[in-house]
Structure 1
Amino acid sequence: MTDVVVAGGGLIGLSVAWRSAQRGLAVTVVDDAPGAGASYAAAGMLAPVTEVAYGEEPLLRLCLASLQRYPAFVAELAQVGGVAVWLRTAGTLLVGFDEDDLRALSALHVFQQELDLEVHRLTGRQSRRHEPSLTPRVRGGLHVPGDHSVDPRALHRALLAAAAAAGVELVRSRVEAVRVQGGRATGLRLAGGEELAGDAVVLALGAHSASLPGVPSLPVRPVKGQILRLRGAAGLLNGTVRALVRGRQVYLVPSGDDRLVVGATVEDRGFDAAVTAGGVHDLLHDAIDVVPGVTELELVETLARWRPGSPDNAPVLGQSGLPGLVLATGHYRNGVLLTPVTGEAIAELLDSGSLPALAGPFTVDRFRR
């Protein structure tokens, strides 16, 4: 018997496990391929201001709080686990090509100003001063100095090391079901029939969360994303570039010393794992339109993974309605960004029985009202 059993060893599951173990709880994480899910494909953007949307102000507050934690978060991970994670703090530039793109940027800028967010409106020439590799056809942009990025794969390695150092046990096995006895979640059933008991079960299986047997009805669905990685991009970009290319969105995120991540499609196609010629074509076409130098890079990886989407694009955190089962899922596009604050919030709930006020708007109860 352990205090906490976590189903899922991605960024969210490991962050919850690490923070819970720091509070003195005995924690076991179960995952047959930790780190191989959505976080493996993710570009690592930490961009709450760039991605702000109407009606999502509570999510913005949660995302900003998590972004604020990031410098101390990665520093602590390096100290306790010995794995360094580079936080790229060159900001994010959002650019547009035609009049429709510029109108969309203007509307976004007005909304950002209403929320008192730091954003600078730029002309096309000013945008190219920030990022000289941009095409001269860029008509204008928004610069967000506080939106950063991180390498999710390095972050996962760091969390694995930190969790291990804190005493978290990792069981490399497939989770087959939540074990329910007497109307309460009491552990997990693993591949081969083995059962692992725990006082509390944390569901952190991303897009697979809702389909796990034993889990109550949960509005989390897979949203497919195709994403590309290219090599040879040293010096090409200083920070993240996001673009509206005649109404279609694309992002280019520098990673490590010479990699560039280009993404991503958004497809409601269930657990379709295919990387398609059309998806790759559209991403490369738009990326080259924005930064012509992408033409010379080596395409080294194409991936498809599934974001855990929810009806309002926000995470599902806290009690599930089934006693003993705690939810840490549904993060959609913000899983990397929300890793620090989710770990803290769920660990607080497991330790004290209370979910922090910041996470209060994101319980599953909001879908039952």
Structure 2
Amino acid sequence: MEKHVDVAVIGGGIIGLGIAWEAIRRGHSVALVDPDPATGATQAAAGMIAPASELHYREEHLLELTVDSACRYPDFLSSLAWTGIDPGYRKTGTLVLAIDGADRTALADLRDVQTHHSLSVEQVSLREARRSEPMIGPAATAAFSAPDDHQVDPRKLAAALLAALGERGRLVQARASGLDYDGRRVTGAILEDGSVLPARHTVVANGLAAAQLAGLPCRLPLRPIYGDILRLRVPAALQPLLSHTVRGLVRGTAVYLVPRADGTVVLGATMREDGNSGVSAGGVYQLLRDARQLVPAVAELELEEALCRARPGTPDNAPLLGIVPGADGLIIATGFFRHGVLLTPVAAALCVDLLEGKPCPPGLERYRPDRFEEGQA
């Protein structure tokens, strides 16, 4: 029998790690269950903390969460400073570029939505854009600036969270197979060897694998959305290649380049639901082709890494976040799709608030984990 804890967190991606740390810093005993933490979608994430440039049509309802989470990041990171691991937080804004007329129209329409929601986005001249980023190529025909967008390195942030967990919590390197659920209350996690990790509260935060847990009180309709991510090494002669994150629409296709302090650039991200979990040759070609339109010097960089990871999506592309009526002691936190890193601080705070018995904040009902059950609105 495993030692009883206040909180058992199933899943060691960035969301699960964030929840575990938030619970620890509020004084709860915590065990995190994951056979190989921070190797899934977290390993591939670009780490943009960008509520403005990440705003998508029909996802405006997420804006309150994303803006709130971005504001929480400095405090969340400062709580990890004692680990001595730099999470790569950089207050660099985003420069968004358009190539053709349709791209310009699409970005102008998006800017109208962003402005409507009081986000700081403005159109800048190409001369001004090239003054701040000399490597921008001649194909760019319009530029927009989102100065409040920031970034973090998810791999380094995960390393800091794991270090904190190792010092002040407990890591159980095993796979969870189910929930210890008697039809009324969840009292812990069942491990793959059949043993039970007893806990007063159990948080399911293991991404796509959450749907396969035995004993769930409701179905979790998650689907894998694959993305190809490249990491490129900038030669010394070209450093720094970029000082801002550069995003663009290239004839209707989105692409981004995120510069890291270590002289690399993260290039992404394709989205596909073809079931192919390997790196797509077509995806790599598309990323390099479109990135060269924005920054031609990309052709001179060294291809250091190509990854493909699946992100957990839901039918409405909104997270499954909150409690499930009739299953006391259980909190669900999965389905964050492309916003996992961005939403980590706010998701962690909300989950720990709920397990501490604080009232569900207005608006969180929209993300009820059981909202896709028959009869639910």
Same fold (TM over 0.5): yes
Matches of 1:301 and 1:320 in 2, distance apart? 40
2:50 maps to 1:56: no
110, 114, 127: which one pairs with 2:129? 127
- 2-side partners of 1:268 and 1:85: how far apart? 31
Query: Which aligned pairs between 1:255-266 and structure 2 lie closer than 5 A?
Result: 255-266=260-271
How far off is 1:63 after superposition?
Answer: 0.4
Contact 2:48 2:152 in 1 (8 A): yes
What is the SS of the residue equivalent to 2:272?
coil
Shift of 1:239: 1.3
Pairing 1:90-105 to 2, within 5 Å after superposition: 90-105=92-107
Instruction: Give SS of 2:285's match.
Output: helix
Give the corresponding residue for 1:349: 354
SS at match of 2:356: helix
Q: Find the aligned partners of 2:297 and 2:258 in 1 and give their Cα distance.
A: 14
Residue 262 of structure 2 aligns to which amino acid in structure 1? D
Larger mean CA deviation between 155-164 and 338-347 belongs to 155-164
2:337 is the alignment partner of 1:332: yes
Q: Is the 8 A contact 1:208 1:222 kept in 2?
A: no
Q: Deviations over 1:210-231 (max 9, x none)?
A: 2222222112221111111111
Instruction: Map 1:247-326 onto structure 2 (within 5 A).
Output: 247-270=252-275, 272-321=276-325, 322-326=327-331
CA distance in 2, matches of 1:247, 1:194: 51
Map residues 1-369 of structure 1 onto 2, 5 A cutoff: 1-79=4-82, 81-165=83-167, 167-215=168-216, 216-232=218-234, 234-270=239-275, 272-321=276-325, 322-357=327-362, 359-367=364-372, 368-369=376-377
Q: Decide which moves more: 181-190 or 137-146.
A: 181-190
Q: Which residue type is aligned with residue 121 of structure 1?
A: Q
Contact 2:97–2:144 at 8 Å: present in 1 too? yes
**Conserved in 2, the CA contact under 8 Å of 1:345 and 1:359?**
no
What is the Cα deviation at residue 360 of structure 1? Answer: 4.3
| Residues matched between the structures, number | 366
Superposed CA deviations along residues 277-302 of structure 1, whole A, max 9, x for unmatched, are: 11111111111121111111111111
Instruction: Give RMSD over aligned pairs.
Output: 1.7
The 10-residue stretch of structure 1 (106-115 or 124-133) with the greater mean CA deviation from structure 2: 124-133
| Partner amino acid, structure 2, of 1:290 | L
CA distance in 2, matches of 1:357, 1:13: 23
TM-superposed deviation, 1:353: 4.6
Shift of 1:358: 6.0
Write out per-residue CA displacement over residues 107-138 of structure 1, whole angstroms, 9 at most, x where no aligned residue.
11111121121111023333222211110110
Residue 361 of structure 1 and its aligned partner are, at CA, apart by 3.4
Q: Name stretches of at least 5 consecutive residues in structure 2 with no aligned partner.
A: none
Question: How far is 1:35 from its partner?
Answer: 0.4
In the superposition, the TM-score normalised over structure 2's length comes to 0.92
Measured after TM superposition, the shift of residue 74 of structure 1 is 1.4
SS for the counterpart of 1:253 is strand
Paired residue type of 1:306: A
Identity of aligned residues (%): 45
Per-residue deviation, 1:365: 4.8
- Aligned equivalents of 2:89, 2:302: Cα separation in 1: 24
1:325-365 C-alpha deviation (Å, 9 max, x unpaired): 21111111110011111111111111225334464432225
How big is the shift at 1:190?
Answer: 1.6
